[in-house]
């Protein structure tokens, strides 16, 4: 079982100083934690790292806008679908799934 709490706090930049992420990253529901927990070990760390990086840059190179404030990033064969709330400076992870026809369907 993986520890699926994905809320980055502080990171170090090149100078070694601690810097707060400009955006807070939250899971939309416990469903996202379950989706993370069932990931194979080979993909889990990469997906969690990509989610944490969204705190520093919610629109990284290669992200796709799906509509409105909803985006997705690719992490290997997995997709992280999330919503960016610029006013409250939050990124809400909506879904983590392996790419398939069902990945982009609404719940």
2 assigned to some structural domain:
no
50 assigned to some structural domain:
yes
17 assigned to some structural domain:
no
Q: Is 16 left (phi over 0), alpha (psi -120 to 50) or beta?
A: left
Residue 6 has pLDDT above 60, yes or no: no
For residue 61, what is the domain's CATH number? Answer: 3.30.2310.20
Q: Tell me the C-alpha distance between 90 and 60, whole Å.
A: 15
90 assigned to some structural domain:
yes
Q: Tell me the C-alpha distance between 47 and 104, whole Å.
A: 17
42 assigned to some structural domain:
yes
**How confident is the model at residue 28, as a pLDDT?**
85
Going by pLDDT thresholds of 50, 70 and 90, the confidence category of residue 12 is very low
Residue 101 has pLDDT above 90, yes or no: no
Going by pLDDT thresholds of 50, 70 and 90, the confidence category of residue 14 is very low
Domain limits for position 54: 24-98
Average pLDDT, the chain: 81
Q: Which runs of consecutive H residues, i.e. helices, occur in 1-107?
A: 30-37, 41-53
8 assigned to some structural domain:
no
Residue 19 has pLDDT above 90, yes or no: no
Q: Tell me the C-alpha distance between 84 and 89, whole Å.
A: 8
**How confident is the model at residue 99, as a pLDDT?**
82
Residues 6+ apart with CB under 8 A from 59: 71, 84
Q: Please count the structural domains in the chain.
A: 1
If 0-12 CB within 10 Å is exposed, 13-18 middle and 19+ buried, where does residue 69 land?
middle
Whose tokens are 């840059």? That residue is: 57
6 assigned to some structural domain:
no
What mean pLDDT do residues 53-80 have? Answer: 94
Quick: pLDDT tens for 20-45: 559 999 988 899 999 999 999 889 99
Q: Tell me the C-alpha distance between 83 and 58, whole Å.
A: 9
9 assigned to some structural domain:
no
């Amino acid at each position: 079982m993986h520890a699926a709490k994905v809320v980055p706090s502080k990171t170090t930049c090149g100078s070694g100083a601690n810097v707060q992420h400009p955006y807070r990253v939250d899971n939309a529901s416990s469903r996202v934690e379950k989706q993370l927990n069932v990931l194979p070990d080979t993909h889990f760390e990469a997906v969690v790292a990509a989610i944490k990086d969204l705190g520093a840059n919610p629109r990284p190179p290669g992200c796709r806008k799906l509509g409105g404030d909803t985006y997705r990033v690719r992490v290997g064969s997995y997709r992280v679908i999330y919503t960016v709330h610029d006013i409250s400076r939050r990124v809400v992870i909506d879904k983590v799934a392996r790419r398939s026809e069902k990945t982009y369907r609404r719940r």
